Amino acid sequence: MNNFIAQIQAFLTGHHTGANTEQQTLNLVLGCSVLFVISGVGLNLFLGLVEPNYVLIPALVILSITFYRSRFKKLYNWSWLPLAALGYSGLIATYFLNDGSKGPVLLVSIPILISIIAIVKPKVYPVIILLHLMLFTGLGALERTNPEAIVETYLSDDERIIDNTFSYVISILFFSVLLGFIRFKVKKQENELDKQREQLEMQNKQLKSIFSVLSHDLRAPLGNVKGYLGVMHKLDLKDAERLNLEKDLLDSTTAAMSILEDVLIWSRAELQGSESGRADVDVESMLRRAAKDVEFFAEKKNVKISIEAKDLKLNCNKEQMSIVLRNLLHNAIKYSPRGATIKMLAEQYNQNQTTIQVIDYGVGMSSADLEKLFDRVASGRSGTEGEKGAGIGLLLTEQLVKQNGGQIKVSSQQGKGSTFAVTFS
């Protein structure tokens, strides 16, 4: 039953056509008005009341045309004017042709007033309400002073009761549909605002964490750079001492640049969205590029990187996936012992699933570390030779993988190494 009602509402409002809330409300009011007039024409025919239909049938034609233009042609501008003009013209005619204040016109006037208020701009409300009050005050005064102007169409009190009861029921149904729709839209907007608030709170939390990490981890390498430059400037160093300082200076600068690059990439990914720059990329060449990017850090620890990849293509953002692989390799090198080997494997399953694995045989992680690995930004653990990290690499990696339609899983055992698997379906 609920599904049937939802289908009727969807047909009347046209919400699936991209109409906004105001336009959907206009469509609903016009559609219900058409149904309301059709039911009125049918009741008049049943009761043998001919005169009121002289007004209702032309009104039905104009309302149907207006509804068609609004709902199917998307011509919304001033579509409320025919409704208002027909509504009040019909009310005046019905007042004189259908027993004045003793007929159903007063009951019918309320849903017409509410309908117009629901679809016009708020600044028009006072004008509509004032005109409504003036109209029925004037009609009441005219009926009192000139009762002969009112046509008594009912042949019996039973007909009057049936007509008034029917108008009452139709008015209640009209109110229920309109208010139900408005309540539904308000609830939907509240849910959307709740989701947006949750996303903003999450992003705000991540930003706070990132800035907290940056304030700590950038200070260390930049402080080292400043100290090394100060020593080199003040002291007359021997060649060997200068070379050692230059090496330390290069390491600190590289660490700071890596942190800044991760933050800039993370910011760019936030702005670009998930569909930015995707193309079919050769997987093997992408793996070899990532290995080349970290060659400097691998050689420092005498770590070898082996690559096994078939002739595979992957639809992704090449730059973002290169960053993913580079971060995973950095992580693997950081926690591998000197002289270790890191494996990069790319395989395809069932012709629709590609998995890239980065496998190291280093210190591994405990189950507790695994559970909070992607939970939040945290200052990274020191590597096997004291290497520092900003702690945002894995957060960035997970986000970029998701933006490219994949998912990342980690398996690890303390003392035996870790495997990061990135899968695309």
Query: Phi, psi (5° rounding) for residue 423?
Result: -120, 135
10-residue mean pLDDT profile of the chain (425 residues): values are 63 69 76 81 82 80 83 76 79 82 83 78 85 89 88 80 83 77 78 85 69 60 71 69 73 69 65 66 90 82 89 85 87 89 88 88 84 62 64 74 88 89 89
Q: Is 48 left (phi over 0), alpha (psi -120 to 50) or beta?
A: left
Residue 97: helix, strand or coil by DSSP? Answer: helix
Instruction: Give the closest residue to 269 by CA, choosing from 226, 320, 193, 219.
Output: 320
Is the Cα torsion angle 295, 298, 302, 306 positive or negative in sign? negative
Residue 410: helix, strand or coil by DSSP? Answer: strand
CA end-to-end span of the chain: 38
> 277-425 is classed in which CATH architecture?
2-Layer Sandwich (3.30)
Please enumerate in sequence order all residues whose Cβ is within 8 A of that of 178, keeping only pairs 6 or more positions apart, or say none: 25, 28, 29, 32, 114, 115, 118
Rounded CA-CA distance 26/422 in Å is 49
Return the ∠ at Cα 120 (arms to 114 and 125), rounded to 5°.
70
Which part of the chain has CATH 3.30.565.10? 277-425
The amino acid that residue 154 corresponds to is Y
Q: How many residues are recorded in the chain?
A: 425
Tokens 């970290």 belong to 294
Rounded CA-CA distance 110/106 in Å is 7
Rounded CA-CA distance 262/324 in Å is 10
Strand partners, 412: 418
Strand ranges, E, within 165-261? none
- pLDDT value, residue 422: 93
Is the Cα torsion angle 147, 153, 155, 159 positive or negative in sign? negative
